[in-house]
Structure 1
Amino acid sequence: MKKILFVCMGNICRSPMAEAVFRDAFQKRQEDNFQVDSAATSRWEVGNPPHRGTQKLLSQHHISTKGMRARQVTTEDFYNADFIIGMDQENVSDLQAIAPDGTENKIYLYLDLVPGHTGESIPDPWYTGNFEETYDLIQKGLNEWLTFLEKD
């Protein structure tokens, strides 16, 4: 089983949105060899559900956030996850700074797989208020990531 961990700063907007979108995609494809989770680089929102903007938008697309709670990334995550996907460049830098030796190669920037978007970050809707933009960018990378994850 391949384990995928999406990471953003608070784990209430971008990373839980990616977790829910990917979980939904794997269910629709009837793929059960993937485990999807999300976490934060900070402790600020630990224990909180996804942001109401994330919940509302995902609900409109019939994607569940049931049972999701923010948590901070742990040392164990670096050993347990096969892919650790940061939603922006700062997340990736933070992850690289705390990654145990030998686990740095598991860290990716989400949009790096999307043609024409290498090196770009997904803007944080906590600050922009634009949850639709976040959803659209996650969707833009979905098929690229599914192809990458299924062949790896």
Structure 2
Amino acid sequence: MKKQLIIGLTLAVMVTGAVMTAIQPAVAGYRWKTGRNGYVPPQAVVGGFDGENLYVCSTGVAVGKLVPRQKKCYVPYKGSEFAYDKYQVLVVDSFHWAPLTSDLDLPPGAIVGGTDGKKDGEPIYVCNAVVAGKWIPGKYSVSHNVCYVPYKGKEIEVKNFNVLISR
């Protein structure tokens, strides 16, 4: 029975990311609130600005930008930008954006937004970067050493960026 429960929880994370929202808040001081069609919960993290506030959203695997006016969460993946009506919005009690050090050490308290979906399940962290003069939230994996942001239909790699830290 325990083995079936663990397998079920693993599948739930891969399919919906729902377990991520239940496990991480107690440990890290942040939580992911379910949303759809542009909903922004109170205390949602503003990750950037492009004519309006852009909020940090996740599909449970990838992290991206919620554009309330367009009612979509956009995430970068394999060179493209993908739009979702259903998503999770990051809510944090206390946070700050921190640039990575020159040797790219990840600061303590960096917020996890998902996993890479591969066998090793590498954590994907919340980042933001400037693209075309605009701050855009996205995803950072330690193995790639770049922040990937969704912008104008594409996944953009940015080498100078911030990561989100929970205090």
Same fold (TM over 0.5): no
TM-score by length of 2: 0.28
More strand by share: 2
More helix by share: 1
- TM-score of the two chains, using structure 1 as the length reference: 0.30
Instruction: Point out the structure with max Rg over C-alpha.
Output: 2
